[in-house]
Chains A and B, each alone.
Chain A
């Protein structure tokens, strides 16, 4: 990279000019900041000024630009200079709008603005223009694991977008569960009667599609690589072992029905006339529209459907969740009987009937056809004569009751086929490893991390597709229990994400949530001590280890959160535009008052997505907070390297506040585990503080939400007050 040519624009708009002594600030930028080109501007964001800037950049060949004015979150459309390293210095929200009024306000504002300017200059010089991942690979093929409705839909969607697609199906034929059904629940108006599954059409299209290949009776042996360059070893029925090179993977491995044998009290496994919903589908297919008969040929005159069988279970013996589709499925199956013979008694035993959306029309349709719905709790299913006796509590009539039936259908739930739970303890994992479906050759385990109950859902509400294995997406009931319509919708979306993954990988760009970020982690292996922290802590399993236990970075798996950088004790990991230096130099750059000035300095490291916007918002709403803090946004609390903290404390900072997102089961960290890792590291910092002879209060972590606009200023003021309590840092002198 050629030598740096820096420039700074000091904006005097929005009242900055009146509130601050710009001359002094300009002097600081020149003398301390060593900024080459420097100028004030009454409104830096005005079209004229921006145009002028572009011109200057051309003429003077500027490489680095600092804009001192409003928050980095403001006026981004104006301050958009491709090919330029840009730093923003937040005077407006960070100083003008946040420093409390008072007779010493001008002084405090000036000091704060000066420090932010120093910090901006320091950061600017450390910035490098990201050059994109050099190891970017552009394989655009997409591998789909699973040839059921979800897999077929995903593969066809990708193929129709012009991407080669490969289906790997464990069964000898395509179609999955849906292929074994008689009919499907209606998914569009009118929501009246069961519909053809349409699965044959999908299978036919898959077979005929020029861009689509299928391996049947095939399983994955190993998956290596990263987005844009996955290699997947596959054991196939016909060609033996082969290897597919693909750019992204969709896991649509579906579900297995919860085994009814686990429900003997409901007759599961005890009577041949107690079956599950899949079992009824085969009976219906066998009868092919004629009145439905049991296995023994006896016509069914009365059938009872027991909802939530082995689901929504609080005892911990069965599934705790609701599979969502079963109410509609039982309604559909009851209609099978009514369609063939209207005088068959069909009783649906439920506690909460769950047919959301237009399912209400389907429910009404079933009632019109005479399906009987009973709000009741099934107690026992026992053989009686040629059939069965279903004992239950009728919750409406509030009585114990019973009904005789020829056939009982247990609406059991969906168990995801998600492979191994990689969060199991090592020893158990070995056992489970056999069940792995992806067989990832990843440091962090062979399958997608699971959220709960074996589902691979990332549990993002806003970003449901984002798994923790970049370029590998899950779709259908493996991700969340769902019906056919939802699964096909889900698969269509997953196909888009897979396409996005290969496009971005090809250009060496980051995927969600830092979509388009061209920076990537760089490591100086010569300095590495093989401590493995980065490989363990990476939330996305992006880093493997080579035979010498050195980290191997798979850049296109990386999501640019910087957790590895924060984890590295020897600080050999960095990003071009975000490094130990870009932040460290800011910390060292400020003008530290002596201990007698009674002007503490508190370093605030704030998550750029939640805490930092919260501070901006607070300022916009005129909520003031102490002028003794200096705020630095960080990509994620996980990227905070403890050296920043120790440097700060050694440099005479009085305290360090770390503001990150909620961790734990309902984590709100958009890098999933960043804030958790930070918390873990900081739990160890107390020893360091002891060694330095400092109070533990000098470092504090807070979970802050983007909405904490009232709470956050309060937290800051309370913390600063505490610094006054325990006194100025004894380290100041030595800085």
Chain B
């Protein structure tokens, strides 16, 4: 397989000891198999996420993202910027669209970047990892390295918001996107196509500040997965993963439910199917252990 190079934007949550550390572990395992070479953008910074709006002004937040793009253009010329985190991708992509669309805005951004000795020319494109997998490689290629098809594994593909709206993956439907189900199938597992909370918002951004409200969303998302007979939920978004997994215990405490639904990343599925060990596939990074997936990984 010819190697493909990308300027990698891991994002804060993927860092060592951070809330999505195991996401990165699994992504690395997958990329190795697929000859995708990710080079981290030197000294990349936080995207500001969508939540920073009260503190950060419009331009400040654009500049924050423009810095990463400028760094990519400078150090990794010609490479697309790839983000694994949905929020990072959205923030970076929105900034790019805005800067490319408006000359004056780009001028302002560059005036600020200049202070840090940088410039963004509007070249570097912003992609999400799943876009790379689906658009650059294609499902067939993704299926090739599979050594342990995850047969019999019933999985609810939870797309959530930010990889889906407003940009979407491969121009897919906002209401019923298919890409995640296709990835699940590529790993040999069964995608539950009737899973009806696929694009429901988990309230992640407000998980800390409006716990009841966001946990109500999480409850819907998890219970619907149970209704469909899912073994686990799969998601492309660190924030979704954390919220939907982490707060199940709290919901149980408060409401006497017995939610215990594993929530894993598409990349953990693929890594396992590609024969990675539980550790390599990041399966050890869960509060609710995805036992069936771990079993598959341990199977020799």
Contact between A and B in the complex (any CB pair below 8 Å):
no
